Structure 1
């Protein structure tokens, strides 16, 4: 019996295009000014230190911005980048410049599953803060009360089996009672290797079908 659902965001609850055509460009456009304005902030400085560790050299503010902007273009799944993007998006959401996109069936089924007593979790390469912003600022209202927890790259890569084992440890459930939803086959493979149940969302032609997993065109096809 499924007791919990762990869901990806891009291509699963929300459009990949929203992330790549709205969120990423917004972060890139505001990154340099954000770093200048927040240069004295301790958290921002720690994140820049993390960037320097990754590239193995000291960076000026402009050089750090150059590196981060290139990482945005390359869609790097790196924690300092994802954290800084989340901080920039927070300003955008609070100002009303950004609105969190979710598919129309997402709030319906999240609420249905929550009402059934299932625990709901998010696991995305975007920072936990960014995850909360997307679900907290949708056209369907604030969906964050439906979730019991959030996981990002700080727990490990999404294509690494160890990440899913750690999620199971933290939520205190056995793999066979947890369903992982994603559009990416390699992530589903890693989750299954950790013992989780899996279902691949094929919402559009951007998803590459992996026959080894159950598939659904939207949440109405997810068997729970």
Structure 2
């Protein structure tokens, strides 16, 4: 499986976002967290800002919608130019219908799960998604410590994907750093969201390379 690094701009300088996107040009994706202060206790940005970011980003934009009523709002992020749109299982009323609508708009459809949400109820739906996002912190704020209790869920999800024979990516988001990325990769993740670990480094490009190397080494084992 190809390993991908998706730095979260939640840890970037919001007053200099175009420049901050240039800092992560060596990554695979720019991860944009959309929060509505209802589904999670934080408020970030919406579709108009995502559209502006897409125009200046050197890499594809991966949107993570931590919002209520994604059935209504998620397609707007596809229209805004995001290449991947992930919504939460806990918020969607009709996740299959929404995933199909997103795919019809030409974007990758992802399903996000909070730490306490089991993967098992969604295993039969794997063919409907391009990516499963396992949150490794409680969604809402960057810089939280990694929750090791999520590793068994990552492993079970990877086993289910492998058994299905599907090309579904497995993303982890929350507390991913040099200290934790190897555990995530060993459990089966292949897309890694890292915010403060990248943007807190003096050399963001070097840190992206380092994270990629650590994940690859864990997979090689």
Q: TM-score, normalized by length of structure 1?
A: 0.34
Larger relative contact order (Cα-Cα within 8 Å, sequence gap ≥ 6): 1
More strand by share: 2
More helix by share: 1
* Structure number with bigger Rg: 1
